[in-house]
Structure formats: structure tokens, C-alpha cells
């Protein structure tokens, strides 16, 4: 009876436009455009790449071990680097642990990197809807999360397109180059089918947000000096130094750091005297100078004030919080004259500038800078990228 009524009542079937006929046979298909059946779009991965640092004191040894194992950064021995790194890390760990204890029990670089990456993706979802949703990742070279850990998460999240966004604004083969070499090794290990299409922002020394962010922070800190001497304060832009044997390969880093400094001072109308100096030298080899600490001490006594600006760092870490704040300034007999400019950290101008930079990169289709192939021709490594076109672009 029920079946007879369904067959005879054609008006009811027509009115509801059922895809099934009266005996249960599908007579038409659903459209894939139906909102309930639409396939979710794969996220675009925005991967912040940096050196990293131990988030807790007990992570110090593993951080140092990974650092001294990197032949791109510290070329010791192609065959025995990791074996030697164990002994160096074990020897240096107690001293470095005390330094991390003195700045609060670990490096803040992971926290700031995660914050900055998340904020950049929030902005990109609004300003670049065609590549949304954007998902933030952090890939550190020497600390958790390491590159392979981040890559596994990218795969788990179904990412099909990713941007390796170096957080070293100025390119050096020993920093950005090392991170990209590690990315290539990880691709070959975890993603040989090339399910993720990669591009990279490998340098951005004169990006507007970077320059404006530094200028904002410098102006704010200059306000802390007496008004009558404010324009006489010497600005010392301090960047992490490089061994001269790296510089002498033709590494781009010194010129790119100088370019950042020039653009920042141009934004400030060159209203203060300034110099570029270099910090964090270790070991007996010659390093790029002049060195931050002795030049600061030499100038401080006869100056109206010194403002130190960490020009190659995008957030606080041990080089700012310990090396500058606690070692250089707090131990100086002239510490009342010396201040450090705040690091970029959560500076909104800087973060928006990074988002603008990524949006432009996603839109223009560039896979890397025109300089990158030459960087890898000049750079020295035990296991390098041989051709950047093998890494970036669509290969699946």
C-alpha cells in the first residue's frame, strides 16, 4: 500500500525534487558545489625559519649539540662534525645554562616566533583571501621545533603550498643558507613525492615594515634620554658577527646589514651619529669587527649617551637579554649613559609589514630572490643544495 501511494503520487515526488525514484534508484547526482559537500581548502603554510634557542634550561645541551653539528655554520669536519660536537656541547653546557637561567630560565625566541607567525597569518586571512586559510609554523635549526618536526606537522595538516620565511632579514649562507639546506634534506627524507610546493622569502633587509619598526622603537627609546642631549646620542647598530673566512667567500650578510642600517637612518633623517658594530664573536679565528663591547666602552665615557640597536634580530634572545643587557650594560661603569633599544618582538608595524611582505610574495609568484642561486654557488657546505630550482616550485 505504501509503495503504491508513492508510485502514484508523482506530484509529491516532483515537488521535493528527490534524487531518488520511488523504488530507491538514484535518478540524478548531487552537485559538488553543495555547501555541505564542498571539499575543505588546503591551508597555505607560513613557516618562520630561525636559529631558535632552548625554551627551558634542560634543553641547552641539545641546542648546543645541534648548533656545533652544523657544518654550514661552524665548519669543523665533514666526516666527524657530530662526534666533535658532542664534546664541545658537553664542555660549554654548564656555562650557557647559567646564562639562560639569568634571563628567566630559557630563550623567549620560540614564544615570540609563534606569536609573530600567528599574527601574520591572521592578517593574511583578511588581506590575501585567495591563498587562505594560512597556517603558522615555526621551524628552528637547532632547537625544538626542529625542521623535520615542523615538516611532519605540515604533512599532517594537508598543506600543499608553503613559504619558507627566513627570520634572518639579512641573508648569510651560514644562517639562512643553513636553514634552506636543512629544508632540502628534510624534503628528500620526509616528502620525496613532493606533495608540498615550496617557495622562500630568503632576505628582506630593506622591507618597509622592518625599517619602520626599528625607527619607531629607536624614537621611543631616545625619548628616555634628556631632551638637551637626545640628538647627540650615538646609535650603535649591533649585529651578530661572522668569521672572516665566511665573509671572504663573498657572503652577502655584511652588505645587507649595512643596507638595513642605512634605510633606518634615512627614516630617522640621519638625526644622530651612528655606527654599525658586531657582536658575539667566539673562538680564536678572526671575525668581522669592530666589536660591540669595546667600541661601546670606548665611546661611552666621552659621549652624551649610547643607544644599542640589535639590527639583525627580530626578537629578544640570549644575545640581547644576556650579552647586551647583563654583560655589556649592567657591568659597564658608564651604564647610566647606555640603553638598548627594544627588540621588535610584538611591534605591530613590524608584524603588519611581515604580513604585507608575505602577501606580495604569494601574489607575485616569485619562488626565491634573484640572489639566491649565487649565494649557493659561493657558499661552502658539506651537504648543500646543488640547484635551488630543485627545491622551490611545483615538482609533484
Any idea which residue has 609573530 for its cell?
116
What grid cell was written down for 74? Answer: 661552524
Paired with 163 in beta bridges are: 46, 199
User: Per DSSP, which regions of the chain are E strands?
Assistant: 44-50, 134-140, 161-166, 197-201, 234-240, 274-279, 306-310, 338-340
| Structure-block grid coordinates of residue 287 | 671575525
Could you give the CA distance from residue 299 to residue 226 in angstroms, rounded to a whole number?
A: 18
- Calpha distance 340→220 (Å, rounded): 11
Distance from first CA to last CA of the chain, Å, rounded? 58
Neighbours of 294 (CB within 10 A): 11
Order of strands across the sheet with 44-50? 134-140, 44-50, 161-166, 197-201
Cell 661611552 maps to which residue? Answer: 300
> Annotated catalytic residue: which of 212, 251, 316, 356?
356
Tell me, yes or no, if 125 is annotated catalytic.
no
Helix (H) or strand (E) holding 214: helix 208-222
Q: How far apart are CA 257 and CA 312, in angstroms?
A: 7
DSSP string across 96-141: HHHHHHHTTSS-SHHHHHHHHHHHHHHHHHHH-GGG--EEEEEEES
Q: Which residues are catalytic?
A: 356
Amino acid at each position: 500500500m505504501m509503495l503504491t501511494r508513492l508510485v502514484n503520487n508523482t506530484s509529491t515526488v516532483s515537488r521535493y525534487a528527490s534524487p531518488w525514484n520511488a523504488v530507491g534508484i538514484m535518478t540524478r547526482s548531487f552537485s559538488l558545489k553543495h555547501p555541505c559537500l564542498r571539499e575543505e581548502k588546503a591551508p597555505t603554510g607560513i613557516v618562520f625559519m630561525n636559529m631558535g634557542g632552548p625554551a627551558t634550561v634542560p634543553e641547552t645541551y641539545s641546542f648546543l649539540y645541534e648548533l656545533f653539528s652544523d657544518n654550514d655554520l661552524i665548519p669543523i669536519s665533514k666526516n666527524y662534525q657530530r662526534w666533535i660536537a658532542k664534546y664541545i656541547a658537553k664542555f660549554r653546557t654548564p656555562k650557557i645554562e647559567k646564562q639562560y637561567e639569568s634571563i628567566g630560565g630559557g630563550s623567549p625566541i620560540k614564544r615570540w616566533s609563534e606569536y609573530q607567525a600567528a599574527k601574520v597569518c591572521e592578517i593574511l586571512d583578511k588581506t590575501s583571501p585567495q591563498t587562505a586559510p594560512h597556517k603558522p609554523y615555526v621551524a628552528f635549526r637547532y632547537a625544538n621545533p626542529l625542521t623535520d618536526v615542523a615538516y611532519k606537522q605540515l604533512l599532517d595538516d594537508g598543506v600543499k603550498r608553503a613559504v619558507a620565511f627566513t627570520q634572518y632579514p639579512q641573508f648569510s649562507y651560514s644562517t639562512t643558507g643553513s636553514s634552506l639546506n636543512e629544508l632540502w634534506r628534510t624534503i628528500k627524507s620526509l616528502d620525496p613525492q613532493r606533495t608540498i610546493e615550496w617557495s622562500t622569502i630568503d632576505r628582506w633587509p630593506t622591507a618597509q615594515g622592518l625599517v619602520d619598526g626599528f625607527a619607531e622603537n629607536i624614537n621611543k627609546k631616545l625619548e628616555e634620554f634628556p631632551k638637551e642631549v637626545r640628538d647627540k646620542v650615538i646609535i650603535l647598530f649591533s649585529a651578530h658577527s661572522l668569521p672572516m673566512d665566511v665573509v671572504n667567500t663573498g657572503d652577502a650578510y655584511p652588505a645587507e646589514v649595512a643596507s638595513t642600517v642605512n634605510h633606518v637612518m634615512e627614516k630617522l633623517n640621519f638625526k644622530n651619529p651612528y655606527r654599525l658594530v658586531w657582536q658575539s664573536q667566539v673562538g680564536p679565528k678572526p671575525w668581522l669587527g669592530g666589536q660591540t663591547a669595546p667600541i661601546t666602552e670606548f665611546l661611552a665615557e666621552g659621549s652624551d649617551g649610547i643607544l644599542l640597536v640589535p639590527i639583525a634580530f627580530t626578537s629578544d634572545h640570549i644575545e640581547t637579554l644576556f650579552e647586551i643587557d647583563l654583560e655589556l650594560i649592567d657591568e659597564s661603569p658608564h651604564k647610566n649613559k647606555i640603553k638598548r633599544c627594544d627588540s621588535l618582538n610584538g611591534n605591530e608595524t613590524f608584524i603588519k609589514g611581515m604580513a604585507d611582505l608575505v602577501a606580495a610574495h604569494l601574489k607575485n609568484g616569485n619562488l626565491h630572490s634573484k640572489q639566491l642561486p649565487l649565494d649557493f654557488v659561493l657558499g661552502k657546505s658539506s651537504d648543500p643544495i646543488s640547484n635551488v630550482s630543485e627545491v622551490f616550485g611545483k615538482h609533484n
